[in-house]
Structure 1
Amino acid sequence: MSHNDSLAAWLRLTLIPGIGGETQRKLLAAFGLPEAIFSAGRLEARGVIGNRADLLFDFDPTEAVAHSLEWARQPGQHIISLADEAYPKALLEIADPPSLLYVRGNLALLQKRGLAMVGSRNATPQGVQTAENFAKTLAAKGLTIISGLALGIDAAAHRGALAAKGETIAVIGTGPDRIYPARNKELALAIVESGAIVSEFPLGTPAIASNFPRRNRIISGLSCGVLVVEAAPESGSLITARLAAEQGREVFAIPGSIHSPVARGCHKLIKQGAKLVETATDILEELGSFNAAPAADIPSDKADEGPILTALGHDPCSLDDLVERTTMSADQLLPELLTLELCGLIATLPGNRYQRLN
């Protein structure tokens, strides 16, 4: 059987509604490759999955199979099955690897050592910069940065890796021909150019809420560790961290302010045994086999700080509090704050508050 015919059989198996990953694995365990499943016939398949076997023979996905095969013929676009040598070996270690992966970009990246970075979609400016800095440093050291292309920390992690001219993988919760959220379209195109976009979902699959937690096992499964930058206590990022621990991956978390809602998830992970991380070097030393130089991504030297930055601290601060801390008037502070913002050192937050970015 040719590779094209074999892939068509894999596509037929995975494109039948009602035949999910667990059912597919039962059938593959019983019969071997997909073509053997269909050759065995309805009665034999019923012996394995009951009446759901009727779906295998009553539903005809021929048009969707042909469309998928045509998609995979285009340059830089791939569909790989569990049986392919190109299938990432790291995913073969997890309990529920997807039967097929749709990949746009550099297929070889799926075999390289990677670190997943996840966190809040509603990240603080400081969290966004922290994620970018960590990703930039770690990518420059040779780690592939893996995330989910969501707003906030995910997007920052991808941008940081690209800024270092490093490698990054986006695992998405839609079909490979859909980009969600739409505002990350340009970022997605940049990732395809020098990295990879990966999905287990068929072409045309829209953004469905339940698919995003489901793809988290792939984010953690492809990695040797997961770094959580900012997360609320019930964040989906904690699902990724839990999956990582179950898969035998390292879990790292960056602590934050005790007053910040998006730090509480990280603090929860640290209490549960995640490694507390302050610099990229902490991660490199834990993972080993990388020539870890001291990381300069989060400066700690305060010698060059002015009085306003020192007064700001590392938590959001109101103008009234700054007046009290600096003994400067609001009229004196406002132009100084504007200068600091233009220099990229602070960000203005809602409610007339300010937060330092470095």
Structure 2
Amino acid sequence: MSLTAAERFARLRLARTDRVGPVAFSQLIGRFGTAERAIEALPDMSRRAGRELTPPPVARVEAELAAGDRLGARLIVLGEPDYPPRLTAVDPPPPLIWTLGDAALLSGDCVAVVGARIASAGGQRIARGLSQQLGEAGHVVVSGLARGVDAAAHEGSLPTGTVAVLGGGIDDIYPSDNADLYRRIAERGCLVSESPVGARAQARDFPRRNRIISGLSRAVIVVEAELRSGSLITARLAAEQGREVLAVPGSPLDPRARGPNELIRQGAALCEGVEDVERALSTLRTLCEPPGDGFVGPEGDVDDALIERIAALLSPTPTPRDELARAAGVSAADAAAALLELSLAGRAELLPGGLVASA
């Protein structure tokens, strides 16, 4: 479907509202049908749960759009025809993305190549050569523009099409020593960001970036990664999203080989070349449309008593939403509506997979 200009603007404004993450965004659209109606309802909903929430000023959203226009960037909003189909299947999908370059690459046959920032010369050679082979085989290589393996993957696939997903805004070149690579990807590939234009990357932004890297891709290949690394987070997200996970094995004497070797122990496919990738992709099930979060409107009004009853059942440990509904003795729809209002008031945290925790 096509969105009106007003609804498109409202979706950007809703996505930039404090405490409205991807889960709350999807539930608000599911409940009210449009972002315009959701924005109108936000103050009353959050006030009823104990803390009023207001969307950002219109001028701030207009300034972000103007900044994107000056860069030559393009905003793609969830619900538009050009929104990447694989991202639609992520639970929950990013409400919007900024792109700079050839956005058509995002709908191509994408494969992610990720790994250590402080990579060995051999690891960088493998990432560069494998990415070149993947590009020549018709795949679009996706990575995160970090030092080491990411940069090598982009370099190897730049002639055939590469996508770099950023943690900061679409204009945030991080690390700065990849500035030349950033410019070449903007000219010959595609840069992607979920963050506002002008935002500088913070530590909390990289898990969101990793979710998009895996979400765009049919498979994720890990080349060198220590056991506690962002690359393994990307691999875990890929498995949760139904993507194939592959790992390049390495010497047990190198700490950077522990991550890929552990992934292989856990069932990841061993990757020694493009043939292994093609074999894994040939057995991968076709991704379906997203199942959605199961949100439907409440059966009646969500009163203060129900909100407080649900709030009393929350804990820091993520709990399935259906379990909270059973404990409260209410329908799943009423529990979801109460949890949405608690999240907008900053009293609950809505998590992917139908989980919720106290904020």
Q: TM-score range, shorter-chain basis? A: 0.7 to 0.9
User: In the alignment, what sits opposite 1:28?
Assistant: 29
* Structure 2 runs not aligned, ≥5 long: 284-359
User: In the alignment, what sits opposite 1:55?
Assistant: 53
Q: Could you say which structure has the greater relative contact order, defined with CA pairs below 8 angstroms and 6 or more residues apart?
A: 2
- Displacement of 1:23: 2.1
User: In the alignment, what sits opposite 1:196?
Assistant: 190
- Displacement of 1:277: 1.2
Counterpart of 2:5, as a letter, is: N
The C-alpha deviation readout for 1:142-165, integer Å capped at 9, x for no partner, is 100000000000010000001xx1
- Displacement of 1:278: 1.2
For normalisation by structure 2, the TM-score amounts to 0.74
Correspondent of 1:284 among 269, 274, 278? 278
- Displacement of 1:92: 1.1
Q: Number of paired residues?
A: 282
Equivalent residues in 2 for 1:1-358 (5 A)?
A: 3-40=4-41, 42-43=43-44, 45-46=45-46, 50-51=49-50, 54-56=52-54, 59-74=55-70, 76-162=72-158, 165-288=159-282
- Displacement of 1:60: 3.6
3-state SS in 2 of match to 1:118: strand
Identity percentage over the alignment?
43
Contact 1:8 1:69 in 2 (8 A): no
- Displacement of 1:286: 2.3
Separation in 2, partners of 1:24, 1:196: 26
The C-alpha deviation readout for 1:204-251, integer Å capped at 9, x for no partner, is 211201111221111001000000011111111111111111111000
Separation in 2, partners of 1:173, 1:201: 7
Cα pair distance change 1:51/1:215, threshold 3 Å: farther
Separation in 2, partners of 1:61, 1:41: 14
Separation in 1, partners of 2:71, 2:148: 30
Contact 2:167 2:206 in 1 (8 A): yes
Counterpart of 1:12, as a letter, is: R
- Displacement of 1:5: 2.2
Cα pair distance change 1:75/1:211, threshold 3 Å: closer
Cα pair distance change 1:50/1:82, threshold 3 Å: farther
- Displacement of 1:40: 4.2
For normalisation by structure 1, the TM-score amounts to 0.75
Contact 2:117 2:150 in 1 (8 A): yes
Counterpart of 2:250, as a letter, is: G
Cα pair distance change 1:26/1:134, threshold 3 Å: same
3-state SS in 2 of match to 1:174: coil
Separation in 1, partners of 2:95, 2:282: 31
